[in-house]
Amino acid sequence: MSEIKNATIASASITNDDHGCLGSWIGMDYGHGLRQSFGGYALYLPKSFTNHELKSVAGHWMYRCLKVAGTNDWSKMTGRTVRVQIGDDGSIEGIGHITENDWFFPKKEFTK
């Protein structure tokens, strides 16, 4: 028999550290010291996976931003240094890893 409980979201993360695929976890707090995590599904498989397909623009966006920022946790992107390519119109066309030649140009990658 299923049970329904009230919970407070204590944490939320988007990571790419579990076997290299994009995932998300939401930490639930039931009170009285009881906590549980919800998530763990593969939201996006990068090109290194043989069954990679670009089916999720959101997943690809999050994964590439994490890779370029050099972190595996969305909440740790704050304070990271990246390179930025500005277009003729003044908008940001892409972001790049600070030391590696890894650039994310969403318009190019989303049209493939």
Please give the pLDDT value at position 70.
Answer: 92
pLDDT band at 23 (very low <50, low <70, confident <90, very high): confident
Q: Does residue 63 belong to any structural domain of this protein?
A: yes
Q: Does residue 3 belong to any structural domain of this protein?
A: no
Please give the model's pTM, rounded to 2 decimal places.
0.71
Over 70: is that where the pLDDT of 72 sits? yes
Task: Write out the residue range of the structural domain in which residue 77 sits.
Answer: 8-110
Please give the pLDDT value at position 112.
Answer: 65
- Specify the number of domains making up the chain: 1
pLDDT band at 57 (very low <50, low <70, confident <90, very high): confident
Cα–Cα separations (whole angstroms), residue 7 to 40, 44, 78: 18, 27, 27
Over 80: is that where the pLDDT of 2 sits? no
The mean predicted confidence, pLDDT, of the chain is: 87
Q: Does residue 2 belong to any structural domain of this protein?
A: no
Q: Does residue 69 belong to any structural domain of this protein?
A: yes
Please give the pLDDT value at position 67.
Answer: 92
Q: Does residue 57 belong to any structural domain of this protein?
A: yes
Q: Does residue 1 belong to any structural domain of this protein?
A: no
Cα–Cα separations (whole angstroms), residue 69 to 10, 23, 39, 58, 108: 25, 17, 23, 17, 19
What's at 38, amino acid-wise?
Answer: F
